[in-house]
Each structure stands twice: as structure tokens, then as C-alpha cells.
Structure 1
Amino acid sequence: MAIPAALSAAVGRYLDHLTVERGTARNTLDSYARDLRRYTEHLAVAGVGSLPEVTERHVAEFLAGLREGDGQRPPLAASSAARAVVAVRSLHRFGYREGLLSADVASGVHPPTPPRRLPKALPVDDVLRLLDGAGSEDPRGLRDRALLELLYSTGARISEAVGLDVDDVDQTERTALLDGKGGKQRLVPVGRPALAALAAYLVRARPVLAAKGRGSAAVFLNARGGRLSRQSAWQTLKDSAERAGIAGDVSPHTLRHSFATHLIEGGADVRVVQELLGHASVTTTQVYTLVTVNTLREVFATAHPRARG
């Protein structure tokens, strides 16, 4: 399909703007270019030769084609369709701001809402088996056990855990000070098993690792005495999950999801869990209540004598 020169020029100017003035990443630029190619092909089929000719109906029809297929291509997944609509909206907003368009006809067209994915959480028994088998009695093993105990005990993100400094952990008050997203700090309680693992590591292992470095303040150190990386922490969990015989992909976020799910299943208020996780909005945390409802449905379906009608 040949794209009218005026449409191609408008898209090219917009992509140049993203590259030069916004410093947009190459992968994002490539995605926008593909989405806008599909959009301009749609406009060309509709007989539109330039961006000022586009109406809200053209944009809405493009969105419908993304959702349902357009005869030439199959429908896109909700997340991909949402990205394409964002690209189209951004193109029109750019044209309006630059004075190329007299109106922003795409402003009222909204991307589809991607389906909410339920977080993956391990059963409590699997988490306990993972933690009980974590690490060994050498310095690295003591560090690994302390790290995994802390992740599950606090629900910390992996970046928050490896970002901890020694002074951020108060063993008397049983708390840890985490540096969250956007530079926001939060004080979280630490359970006794995690404190015991941390104490064993800090007394028996960390000094051995620290002697090989240059005096890092980090709680978790690598073999050279520097701060443990997120990648190494991830590998620690992966290795421990394999030793525990836990099937499937287990990531540091899996422990965070398990922490939240187990709290809510135990009766914790969703707003308390929100604070512990460092979520800006309770809406983000409420997804864990869906996990619990699904569990309740499964138990009801198998255990209640009248569940199946």
C-alpha cells in the first residue's frame, strides 16, 4: 500500500521529534514506526491524503480494526492495541501543538484496557521449602539465605533489597528502611526468621566478604566485597528454587507477590499491604484480593456439597 507523501512526511517529522528532542529509545521508536505505518495505511485505504483531513471517525475505525482485525491483519492483543493507539494519539497531539493541525481529533479516543493479570504467588509450603533449603554455612550461603528471608519477610523489590545499607537495618526495632520507587522511603517490619538469618550473615559472613573490598556500606556483598547486583540476587533465587524442586519460573517478584498474597489470605487489610509494598495507589494492591477470591472459589467448588448444583 502506497502511503501519501503528506502522511509520510508528518509521521517522519514526529519520529524525528522523538529522536532528537525526546531522546526516545530505539526499540520504542521502532514500535511507534510500525504502529504508525499501520495507521497511515488505514488512512490511505479510507482516502485520506494528509493529517489535517483525519476525523475522529477515522481514528475510531482504526481502533476498531486493531481490536477486531481489518481484513488484512488479525486483531492485536489488548496491550499491543493500546500501544498503537498511544502512538496515534501522540502523533496528533504533536501535530496540534506544532500548528500543523487545527484540532486534536484523537484526544477523545482511548486505548483498550489490557486484561488485569493476576500475580503469581507460591503456596506457603513452597516458600518455606525454598527458604529452608537456601544457602549453606559458608559466607556466600549465609548471605543468600539472609537475602531470600528478607525478600519474603518484607515484600521488598529486588532493587530495594540489594540497595540496603547496614545502617538501614535496625535489629532492635526489627525494621528495615527501604528506598522505593521515586526516591520514596518506607520503614517495614522484619520477621524473626529473617532477622536471625541476617544476624548470622552479618556476624559470620559479611566481614569475610567485606575484607576483599573497599569498605562498601551495603548489607549484601558480592565475592569482591562490593554491593551485590540485582542480577546476582536473581540468580541466587533461581538456584535455590531449583534445589527446592519448585517448578516454573521463580523470580524475586514471585516472593513479593507471595508476601502480599499470603498477608491478605491471612486477613491483613489491603491498605496495610499497600503501605508495606510501597504502592502509590491501593488500586495496584487490590489485584491481590482477586487472587484470594479465586482461591476461595476453588476451595468452595471442591469442598461444598452443593457447589456443583
Structure 2
Amino acid sequence: MDRDEVVGEFARFLRLERDLSPHTVRAYLTDVNSLLDHTGGQLEGLDIGVLREWLAGQHESGRARATLARRTACARTFTAYCHRRGWLATDPGLLLGSAKSPRSLPVVLDQKQAKAVLDAPPTADPKELRDQALLELLYATGVRVSELCALDVDDVDRERNVVRVMGKGRKERTVPFGRPALQALDRWCIHGRPLWVRARSGPALFLGVRGGRIDPGTVRRVVHARLAQVEGAPDMGPHGLRHSAATHLLEGGADLRSVQELLGHASLNTTQIYTHVSIDRLRTAYRQAHPRA
């Protein structure tokens, strides 16, 4: 098989069968091209020794552990796919050990900072109405930025105060939200969105200034700008609001399984990191407040 054909077929597999996000597909294709550069563009002779040699070279060049973990996962996916297609006689990826990336605790807002971020004076400006609505919904639901951008108007159920979200792997979930988010959404949908609607808008809930569906980059800029207005708040993107929402839910007494369902995590292990955040905060508060800490 020609190298371009192999990469093209693998890309289609990632998009159509694995249903990976465009960002993940791009990362995997970068990794595969790096591996094929190492093999001279040939699949013949690709064995466990070659894979380990490639990863060792990545390590020696200073690649981060998280990058090495992703490249290991990509190599296993790629060799398994090539074996199924008959391009490799055996699957060398089966012998490749898992490279675990370090799991650092996420930076989150405290509850006072979150309140300050979301408190905004009344306005009639459509951009401010949109920004307030998306900030409220991000924090209220803990959805990913890609999930927020994909929302349509009909995904919001105002009678039950829930939003229908299409998550990773095209898994649908229903997430509740509170009154402040509902009020902000109503103000945007009634007084802001109609001013920006164009033929290209379709059913998109959140729009850009030109009427198209909002993109993740715009949402990130909105979050960074609002956080910059709050003294002492850490600089973070939309994922930081997701982390903050999960942490505050656990601090308020929510059980781990419920938070897992809310966030759309496939594994409870992913959600458990937020228990460490809460315990760390509890320990800090204890040391500051207890006379014999």
C-alpha cells in the first residue's frame, strides 16, 4: 500500500468508525506520519522493536509524557487497524506497554470567584447576552466546549430545565441546569439571537457575530476575557469552568456517579480526580482554620 493511501484509509477509520473528534484525528495522523517517517514510509518490517525504537527517540527528543502516552495509544490503534486490513501479518502493538501520562490536579475557581465571573450587569447588547448565556450554561452543566458549540435551540428543554448533549462517541446525555442559566438563555434567545440570525444560522443555539454557529475559539476568548475581570481568578478556558462545576458539585454533596453522568465520563476513574481537588481544598481550609492543625 502507498503511504498516502494507508494514512487516508486510517483517517477515514478514525472519523467514521471510531467517531473521534477532528482535533484527535489530527493528533493521531501527526503521530502516524511521525512513525512512518521513522520507518521510511514502509509498513514492511514494522515490529515491536521498531515501535519501541520510535518511542525511545521521541523520549530522547524531550517529548512530554502526555505526548508519549498519546503516541503509544495511537501506535497500538494503527497497528491493530493495519493487521485487520491485512497490511501487517501480526499486530506488534499488542506487545507495546502502556505509557501513563501524569495526572495533575486541575486548576479550578473557588465558589466566590465563580459567582463573580457570572455576576454581570443588565445589558441589551446581543454579544453580552450571548456571552452571559454561554458562561452560565458552561458552569451550570459542565459540558465540554465542543458540546456547547454543537447545541441547537431545540436541545434546550425549558419546562424540565435540562439540555440534551451529544458527547464523545456520539453518546447522548441529558444534563440539568438552574434558574440563572435559564434566565440568561431566555434573554439571549428573545433579545439577542434574533438580531444575529441569518440564513446560515440554522438551528444553532449560540451564534457568532456573522450569524454562523459559534466556534470553540470564540468561546475560549469569552471565558478568558471574563476571568480577566475577576481579581485573583486563575486564567483558564472553558474546560476550567467544567472542572470548577464538577468540584463545586462534589463540595456541595453530590455523589461521584451523578457527577460522572453529568460530565459524560465513560470511566469513573476520570471523575475521581475531582475528589482529590475537594480533599486538597478541605486540607487547606483545615490548616488555615483549625487551632491545632
Cα distance in 2, alignment partners of residues 155 and 99 from structure 1: 42
- Is structure 2 residue 16 aligned with structure 1 residue 28? no
Larger Rg: 1
Aligned residue in 2 for 1:192: 179
Secondary structure at 1:205 match in 2: helix
d(CA) in 1 for partners of 2:256 and 2:237? 23
In 2, distance between residues paired with 1:92 and 1:304?
A: 56
Residue 133 of structure 1 pairs with residue 120 of structure 2: yes
Deviations 1:227-261 (A, max 9, x none): 22222222221221223345543211111111101
Structure 1, unpaired ranges of 5+: 1-12, 38-49
- Distance in 1 (alpha carbons) for counterparts of 2:249 and 2:242: 11
Query: Normalising by structure 2, what TM-score?
Result: 0.75
Counterpart residue number, 1:282: 268
- Distance between the aligned counterparts of 1:284 and 1:76, measured in 2? 24
Distance 1:298 1:98 in 2: 56
1:170-209 alignment, distance < 5 Å: 170-209=157-196
**1:176·1:188 contact (CA, 8 Å) conserved in 2?**
yes
| Aligned position for 1:258 | 244
Which stretch shows the higher mean deviation, 294-303 or 136-145? Answer: 294-303
| Structure-2 change in CA distance of 1:219 and 1:258 (3 Å) | same
Shift of 1:110: 1.0
What secondary structure, in the 3-state scheme, does the structure 2 residue paired with 1:186 have? strand
Paired residue type of 1:19 = V
Opposite residue 247 of structure 2, the aligned amino acid is: T
The residue type equivalent to 2:280 in the other structure is N
**1:82, 1:112 within 8 Å by CA — same for their partners in 2?**
yes
TM-score (norm 1): 0.72
Q: What is aligned with 1:43?
A: none
- C-alpha distance in 1 between matches for 2:4 and 2:180: 55
2:278 is matched with which residue?
Answer: 292
Q: Is the CA contact 2:68–2:99 (under 8 Å) kept in the aligned structure 1?
A: yes
Tell me how far apart the structure 1 counterparts of residues 246 and 279 of structure 2 sit (CA, whole Å). 14
Give the one of 233, 257, 271 matched to 2:219. 233
**Do 1:270 and 1:285's aligned partners in 2 also have CA atoms closer than 8 Å?**
yes
Name the CA distance, whole Å, in 2 between partners of 1:88 and 1:185. Answer: 29
Residue 258 of structure 2, aligned match among 268, 272, 279: 272
5 Å matches for 1:1-309? 18-19=6-7, 21-23=9-11, 27-33=30-36, 73=60, 77-82=64-69, 107-133=94-120, 136-210=123-197, 212-213=198-199, 216-245=202-231, 247-307=233-293
Distance in 1 (CA, whole Å) between partners of 2:218 and 2:157 is: 25
The SS at the match of 1:177 is strand
Measured after TM superposition, the shift of residue 142 of structure 1 is: 1.0
Given that 2:124 and 2:191 are in contact with CA atoms closer than 8 Å, whether structure 1 keeps it comes out as: no
